[in-house]
Structure 1
Amino acid sequence: MHSFIPTSMLQSALQAAFAEDLGGYGDITTMSTVSADQTSTAHIVARQDGIVCGIEIAEAAFLFLDDKIQFKAHVADGKKITAGQKLATITGSTASLLTAERVALNFMCHLSGISTMTGQYVDAIQGSNAKITCTRKTRPLLRVFEKYAVRVGGGHNHRFNLSDAILIKDNHIAANGGDVIKTVRSAKESMGHMVRISVEVDRIDQIDAAIAGGADVILLDNMSPQELKQSVQKIAGRAVCEASGGVNLQTVAAIAASGVDFISVGRITHSAPWLDLALDF
């Protein structure tokens, strides 16, 4: 995890999360019911099958609040887990365990839900050459965590932010009078040779213009599997092919069979349900 999520970013997120959860007066329930010197052992336990993600983030959350806590993980991120399985054992101040519980589980449940759904999409296209990738449809300030969860689930990352690469969409083309070649060439002439250019098309007859302008990637938007297949044949290796729009677990296999290189799926970050995990004493 630490090679993907900078420590400073993780610590900043935890600080904000605890500030939000503790409010102005702290955990008044725990402070009024649990003695300061009491210690306990608790376990993070799966209530559902899935792919775990965020085990090190949960550890960091407990240690952020109390660096004397002992945290022993029993699984690593990316492992398939089953309902009832113990994922980690945590020993330390009872008050600290109770106070850090929700922040730690919020991260873990959310990220494990993303990795689990991503894994379902990856499994659905086994046997094809396509790769599942996420989008920028992420929760504000959680993008680095959610994109990490996609990778843990076996998916790939799209651009991280607007400065990573050029993605010319229909509105950019419309702003240039509908001229695809002009729009793409303008972008290419403005950027250095290291910056890749992706162009969104929703009709097959736009492909040649996008490639003529210098597109590296053709994003085939809301096309049927048959249209995707025709588009891949027309592109004929001149650019990377990415399918987007109308992607779900019922359609993704047919989309992959069209021959595209990537399938971008917004729902793996914006609509993945939480994986049910709990802290049991």
Structure 2
Amino acid sequence: MVKIALAEDHAHNDISTLAVGGIGKKSQAQIIARQNGILCGMPVAMIVFKTIDAGIEVRGKFSDGARVSSGDIIMEIKGSASAILRGERTALNFLSHLSGIATLTDAFVNKLRGTSTKLLDTRKTMPLLRDLEKYAVLMGGGNNHRRDLSDMYLLKENHIAAAGGLKNALRATIGHRKRVTSRRRAGAPKIEVEVTGLNEFKIALEFDIDRIMLDNFTPAMVKRVVAYATKNFKSRKKIELEVSGGINLSNIRGYALTGIDYISVGALTHSAKAFDLSLKIK
């Protein structure tokens, strides 16, 4: 990934650095936080500089997941001025993007304090950056939903439409799980289904599944569903409940106070603001 990023930036042919005579000079630089938040991406940033010049010295002052303040020096780099200049933007891009995700995740997690609800990410990630972005969610205190399409069954609106209805989709999926489980080393994948109203929720409860996703439910609707499910689960296996859609920092606590098990937020990865960092050569 780092090599691809450096190739994209033509780091081997930095004409600005060549023009000012950066080749051969030795320099020292610092990466400085310009805001408060959660740091993430330090090992990746270090690899960027080491990939350009194996002899460069890179010292991280904080670890991923650390809470930093504006003005904190988070990394020190010593060595070739050329390597520092050529790697600067790529290293900062990784650091600012991943720290932005971790910082936003931390803000959401703080809204859940005192509840049993867990925060989940989604697959709404940048192509090829999913593992890094989901790692950043973990550093911010969140939890990962499925990594990819093979991890678990998740029947959404279009799957249900393609199957000819909710019941058909669930029957087919349960049958498929029975057929493939014996061939999977990891065991039986979980089944989750998305529902858009109370009637669909009641239908989903009739099936042997693991989780129901409440799509675009209001907090009042979620509270009603949780109460109904709690009563129903007294006589059967508990099915996990997740709510998704329209969740933000202003309303997430209201959803958590309903007693919902999980809240998934796509914005953690697709809308996180870049963390403000700068690199300064001394």
- Deviation, structure 1 residue 61: 0.7
Report which stretch shifted further, 82-91 or 208-217. 208-217
- Contact persistence 1:182–1:213 (CA under 8 A): no
- Deviation, structure 1 residue 140: 0.9
Q: In the alignment, what sits opposite 2:274?
A: 274
Q: In the alignment, what sits opposite 2:13?
A: 26
- Equivalent residue in structure 1 for 2:221, among 220, 223, 227: 227
Q: In the alignment, what sits opposite 2:252?
A: 252
- Contact persistence 1:119–1:155 (CA under 8 A): yes
Q: In the alignment, what sits opposite 2:94?
A: 107
1:206 and 1:97 mapped to 2: Cα distance? 57
Percent of residue pairs identical:
41
- Contact persistence 1:51–1:80 (CA under 8 A): yes
1:149 and 1:252 mapped to 2: Cα distance? 20
The alignment's TM-score, normalised by the length of structure 1, stands at 0.92
Q: Deviations over 1:7-49 (max 9, x none)?
A: xxxxxx11110110017x6101101212422101101100111
1:274 is matched by which residue type in structure 2? A
1:234 and 1:217 mapped to 2: Cα distance? 15
- Equivalent residue in structure 1 for 2:134, among 129, 136, 147: 147
User: Equivalent residue of 1:213, what SS?
Assistant: coil
User: Equivalent residue of 2:9, what SS?
Assistant: helix
- Deviation, structure 1 residue 177: 2.3
Q: Any gaps of 5 or more consecutive residues in structure 1?
A: 1-12
Q: In the alignment, what sits opposite 1:212?
A: 206
User: Equivalent residue of 1:104, what SS?
Assistant: helix
Q: Deviations over 1:195-254 (max 9, x none)?
A: 100000011121232132222100011111111011112222420010101100001000
1:232 and 1:133 mapped to 2: Cα distance? 18
1:232 and 1:34 mapped to 2: Cα distance? 66
2:255 and 2:21 mapped to 1: Cα distance? 55
- Contact persistence 2:121–2:269 (CA under 8 A): yes
1:87 and 1:280 mapped to 2: Cα distance? 12
User: Equivalent residue of 1:76, what SS?
Assistant: coil
Q: In the alignment, what sits opposite 1:55?
A: 42
- Contact persistence 1:34–1:94 (CA under 8 A): no
1:174 and 1:99 mapped to 2: Cα distance? 50
2:191 and 2:61 mapped to 1: Cα distance? 43
1:150 and 1:216 mapped to 2: Cα distance? 23
User: Equivalent residue of 1:157, what SS?
Assistant: coil
Q: In the alignment, what sits opposite 2:184?
A: none
- Contact persistence 2:17–2:23 (CA under 8 A): no
Runs of 4+ in 1 over 4 A off after TM superposition: none
1:188 is matched by which residue type in structure 2? I
1:14 is matched by which residue type in structure 2? V
1:184 is matched by which residue type in structure 2? L
1:269 is matched by which residue type in structure 2? T
- Equivalent residue in structure 2 for 1:182, among 168, 171, 178: 168
Q: In the alignment, what sits opposite 1:200?
A: 194
2:174 and 2:22 mapped to 1: Cα distance? 65
Q: In the alignment, what sits opposite 2:153?
A: 166
The alignment status of 1:73 with 2:60, answered yes or no, reads yes
Q: Any gaps of 5 or more consecutive residues in structure 2?
A: 182-186
Q: In the alignment, what sits opposite 1:42?
A: 29
2:201 and 2:36 mapped to 1: Cα distance? 43
2:241 and 2:263 mapped to 1: Cα distance? 9
Report which stretch shifted further, 79-88 or 227-236. 227-236
2:190 and 2:5 mapped to 1: Cα distance? 35
- Contact persistence 1:46–1:278 (CA under 8 A): yes
1:280 is matched by which residue type in structure 2? K
Q: In the alignment, what sits opposite 1:117?
A: 104
2:195 is matched by which residue type in structure 1? V
2:192 and 2:147 mapped to 1: Cα distance? 14
